[in-house]
Amino acid sequence: NAGVTQTPKFRVLKTGQSMTLLCAQDMNHEYMYWYRQDPGMGLRLIHYSVGEGTTAKGEVPDGYNVSRLKKQNFLLGLESAAPSQTSVYFCASSFGLFEETQYFGPGTRLLVL
Which residues contact another protein by CB under 8 A? Answer: 4, 35, 40-45, 48, 58-59, 88, 90, 92, 97-99, 101-107
**Minimum distance of another protein from residue 13's CB (angstroms):** 20
Judging by DSSP bridges, how do beta strands 108-112 and 10-13 pair with one another?
Answer: parallel
User: What's the rounded Cα separation, in Å, for the pair 88 and 44?
Assistant: 11
**Minimum distance of another protein from residue 41's CB (angstroms):** 6
Q: Which is nearer to another protein, 63 or 107 (CB)?
A: 107
**Minimum distance of another protein from residue 83's CB (angstroms):** 20
